[in-house]
Chain A
Amino acid sequence: MREFIEIRSDPSSYFNLVKEMVIADFKLRYQNSFLGILWSLLQPMMLFGVLLFVFSVFARFQIENYAYHLLIGVVLWNFFSEATTSSINSLIQKSRLIKKIYFPRSAIIISSTTNSFINLLFGIVTLLFFMAFSEINLDTTLFLLLLYIIELFFITLGTSFAVSSLSAKYRDISYIWPVLLRLGFWLTPIAYSVSMIPEKYHFFIFLNPITRVIHYSRDALLLSKVSNLDGLLALFITTIIIVVVGFSIFSSRSLQFPEEL
């Protein structure tokens, strides 16, 4: 548990390291582009514009506000998918550093996930901007979204810990993971809604914590509905389990990184 001891013995320098890495990544991301940081907003805007156009003009489903249904799912899922993928890449990118300097390795994953989370925030701002111009009434339940995305952050962080540290030993993971993400995209109600699934399968699809995050976020944003307490509790417990398991895997594997990467 060296990673954990490291954080506890000197939390201020640990979080400073995370912060500096986030700042560095953020500065580097739009280095040579003309519009720079504006892309953080323009990118989701363009993506949403395309999706909204396609689904409000061409495809018509029975679900009310299908396009927004879809957007909420896509924004949240994209974060999970981008963050876990970049955690694998950032561990590989930083391999030289890992071999030459000792520092708490978990900072790499926390900072790369935080960076993707910043993107998610830009995405959500864009989404709310679009919704403000639609006929949907935004209620105060939209603040529940904050709770849901924080849980999503930790689910993603735990997953990133596990996936990235395993990929250091088994490089196959970096090839399998995108395929699993594809599969996950269709097993999670992103392009469809929970109500389209027969009741008897609900138990199974709700085992996936991201299903809960997306479902509850839709309730909060589109239906002004507060999710039930049981569900929230289940989500909370799963989140904690994922973080604890992910971090334990990472922390025991990380001792081998300098030799494996």
Chain B
Amino acid sequence: MNNNLAIEIKNLSKEFVLPHHRRKTLKETIVNKFHKKNINKISAIDNLSIDIKTGEFLGIIGPNGAGKSTLLKIISGIYLPSSGTVVVNGSLASFIELRVGFQKDLTAKDNIFLYGALLGLTRNEVKNSYDKIINFAELQRFMDQKYKYFSSGMQLRLGFAITSHVNKDILLVDEALSVGDESFQKKCLVKMHNLHKKGKTIILVSHNLNMIEKNCTRAIYMKEGTLESVGKPKKVIAKYLRSDNTL
């Protein structure tokens, strides 16, 4: 373990069994025990190694299906690696998708406490940052409204506000930001910068290349589960655009 590293990934591979080859029922399991079919697997991440330093603002780009989200899910502990190791030093919060983790029939206020609990906070910790969260989200007037009446922009505001105020060492943000309006997106970036200044590690997945170039200290370009390029955002993006044009 190296203390300067937030995340150490060594020879990580992740394979998924294609859904129609998965044994779902007792019968299938028993039948398959006798004649083994060739099981179709897709490799989502293929022998990937990277060290992410504490305090980095890392951008991840790449076409759909490159394994970006799978990588984030492995880092956050949702998926287990098929082989290789991932070591995460420090606590982690992720903002991967809108709506997930929120109950549409509960008020925004109730949802803040529920979501906070899902991210591993105690009730007091949520209470202490409650005002900051609603100020940031600019939703003071809507706290007693049910979540289902929120527009997707408002849902984003609430979700990002909670995730970015939980005070974890590492913050993972997936493409969700794209539904926000210009001014809120800016606000999110400012917030991420502030967290970055405080020494937090931030990983941002986005298709908004401009955003990555302006904000990240380093970028990686993923393609078919491998690292195609790592380095200065400008250089990595240029490489991505060049290979993208050939498609």
Contacts and interface: CB of A to CB of B under 8 A. Distances in A.
Contacts of A260: 22
A171 B27 CA distance: 11
A24 B110 CA distance: 8
Contact of A259 (B23, B79, B101, B118): B79
B238 interface: no
B97 A103 contact: no
Interface stretch (A12-20, A46-54, A142-150, A195-203): A12-20
B16 interface: yes
A162 to B, nearest CB: 15
A256 B79 CA distance: 8
A102 B96 CA distance: 11
Interface in B23-48: 23-27, 29
A96 interface: yes
A13 B166 CA distance: 13
Interface string B83-116: 0000000000010110011010110001001101
B26 A170 contact: yes
A100 B120 contact: no
From A21, A23, A102, A255, residue with most partner B Cβ within 10 Å = A102
A101 B26 contact: no
A24 B106 contact: yes
Chain B residues touching A, range: 20 to 34
Contacts of B23: 169
Interface in A78-112: 96-103
Contacts of A17: 117-118, 120
A255 B101 CA distance: 19
Contacts of B123: 16, 19-20
A27 B147 CA distance: 14
From B29, B78, B79, B123, residue with most partner A Cβ within 10 Å = B78
A13 B79 contact: no
B160 to A, nearest CB: 14
A184 interface: no
B80 interface: yes
Given A171-B25, A172-B26, A255-B80, A20 B117 contact: yes
A98 B96 CA distance: 12
A184 B206 CA distance: 53
A16 B16 CA distance: 34
Chain A interface, DSSP helix/strand/loop, else mixed? helix
B208 interface: no
A259 B120 contact: no
A13 B121 contact: yes
A171 B28 CA distance: 11
Given A21-B114, A102-B76, A172 B25 contact: yes
A28 B78 contact: no
A31 interface: yes
B105 A28 contact: yes
A258 B106 contact: no
B163 to A, nearest CB: 10
A28 B106 CA distance: 7
Contact of B78 (A16, A31, A99, A172): A99
B11 interface: no
Given A13-B121, A17-B120, A27-B106, 15 more contacts: A16-B121, A16-B123, A19-B123, A20-B114, A20-B117, A21-B114, A24-B103, A24-B106, A99-B78, A101-B76, A101-B118, A170-B24, A170-B29, A171-B24, A258-B73
Interface of B: 16-17, 22-27, 29, 73, 76-80, 94, 96-97, 100-101, 103, 105-106, 110, 113-114, 116-123
- Ranked 10 nearest A-B pairs via Cβ: A20-B117, A102-B77, A17-B117, A100-B100, A13-B120, A16-B122, A20-B114, A258-B78, A172-B26, A102-B76
Interface of A: 10, 12-13, 16-17, 19-21, 23-24, 27-28, 31, 96-103, 169-172, 255-256, 258-260
28 contacts: A12-B122, A13-B122, A16-B122, A19-B117, A20-B116, A21-B114, A23-B110, A23-B114, A24-B103, A24-B106, A27-B106, A27-B110, A28-B105, A28-B106, A98-B78, A99-B78, A100-B78, A100-B100, A100-B101, A101-B76, A101-B118, A102-B78, A103-B119, A170-B25, A170-B26, A170-B29, A172-B26, A259-B79
